[in-house]
Structure 1
Amino acid sequence: MPQDIDNSTNERLIIMDNAHAKLLQLVSKLVKTDAHDLNMATRLFEHITTTKGTVLVAHNKRATHLYFINSGFIRNYYLQDGLEVTSHINCPPGFITSFNSFINGTNSPEVVQCITDCDLLRITKKDLDTLYQECPNWGLTGRLIYEQALAYNEQRTKDIMTLTAKQRYLNLLAIHPDIIQHVPLQYIASFIGIKPESLSRIRKQIIS
């Protein structure tokens, strides 16, 4: 049974020279950074590893960290009529948490869970606020990432309304071609808004 990361023995802090490399590369592509920006991020983002099934944010608990994915796959899901509905699948590199809970300090209506073993960085809300205050470039980075997330969610909503299930699946594979090797089909089916058996039929059509 999955355990909350704050209480789990799955978590271990490790020291690795390149642990922050992907994060710093991503930020450097978005804004001009200096040594202070990079050093602050390296100091405040904690490097951890987790195992498959680890719960990063539990249902009805507060999200205490924002996570950056170096490697691995993570999903957000909520329960509807006793069934798990996958609302988001995050592939590396990228940020994930229960965002409303993390920002507002409220309990999370969803679960954030590792689909695979993961290599992550994490930061608390207090440390993220410190990073924004002391490094204006990080504040700009946060705004740009937030705008990208809004655009992604808007496009995802439009795709669900206008594209066929097959088109949604093919779009997902075009963006993340390796997702099928790491994420169970039932999660992918839920994410694109169809039943697992429908996805199986679509995959058979594509293969044939």
Structure 2
Amino acid sequence: MYRIRAFFEEIVTINDEDWKLFSSKLEKTEYSKKTILLKTGQTETYLSFIEKGAVRLYIPSLENDLTFGFCFENQFVCAYDSFIRQSPCTYQLETLSKTTLWRISHTDLQEIYARTAIGNTIGRLTAENLYLIKSEREQSLLNQTAQERYLSLFKNRPNLFKDIPLKYIASYIGITPQALSRIRKRIS
């Protein structure tokens, strides 16, 4: 739980009273590899902080899933659009390794926003962080070649390549696994 406070404290100071209320609402959960955290059609009711592990966001398909996001240790993960609207999700979240999450419910987070001096700031900063990750990916798909996206991903998020199957990385950068293999061969 101390990692969450450290994460916030890098951005803003949290007084002990606000932290006590916030931390009292957190629930620690552990999942094995390949656990579906949220299925298509379910409503996201938790904002989670990853203490350990990795999570993939994807649109399931009978042929090839479309992976559009990854979240790692010391990051928040959530089907955020479903969470803020409290409406059914159009994609899924799945663990890629053994994962430990600290979760806060939508209801409890609304209470934190209302009762603490820092709650709204934390909510805004979390939303901004999630937006920037999404925006960077969208821009890379529009402005870079597949090879440039791969090299940028390798440079900026090397932890992706440790434990994540290449088929998910290929999907994330918008190419087939075969095309990724050709790119990797060409640049090695």
Structure-2 residue corresponding to 1:24:
5
Structure-1 residue corresponding to 2:72:
91
Tell me by how many angstroms 1:110 deviates. Answer: 0.5
Checking the alignment, whether the CA contact within 8 Å between 1:63 and 1:102 is kept in structure 2 is: yes
Q: Which deviates more from structure 2 when the two are superposed, residues 142-151 or residues 20-29?
A: 142-151
RMSD, aligned CA: 1.5
Structure-1 residue corresponding to 2:20:
39
In the alignment, the residues of structure 2 paired with residue 154 and residue 178 of structure 1 have an alpha-carbon distance, to the nearest angstrom, of 20
Tell me by how many angstroms 1:184 deviates. Answer: 0.6
> Does 2:115 align with 1:134?
yes
- SS of structure 2 residue aligned to 1:48: strand
Structure-2 residue corresponding to 1:122:
103
1:158-184 Cα distance to aligned partner (Å, 9 max, x none): 111111112111211222212211111
TM-score (norm 2): 0.93
Specify every segment of 5 or more residues in structure 2 that has no aligned partner in the other structure, as ranges: none
Specify every segment of 5 or more residues in structure 1 that has no aligned partner in the other structure, as ranges: 1-19
Structure-2 residue corresponding to 1:176:
157
Structure-2 residue corresponding to 1:12:
none
Q: Which deviates more from structure 2 when the two are superposed, residues 79-88 or residues 151-160?
A: 79-88
- SS of structure 2 residue aligned to 1:132: helix
Checking the alignment, whether the CA contact within 8 Å between 1:57 and 1:97 is kept in structure 2 is: no
Tell me by how many angstroms 1:81 deviates. Answer: 6.9
Equivalent pairs counted in the alignment come to 188
1:148-205 Cα distance to aligned partner (Å, 9 max, x none): 3223322221111111112111211222212211111111111111111111122222
Tell me by how many angstroms 1:82 deviates. Answer: 4.5
Tell me by how many angstroms 1:83 deviates. Answer: 2.9
Amino acid at match of 1:94: Q
Paired residue for 1:189, among 170, 182, 185? 170
- SS of structure 1 residue aligned to 2:60: strand
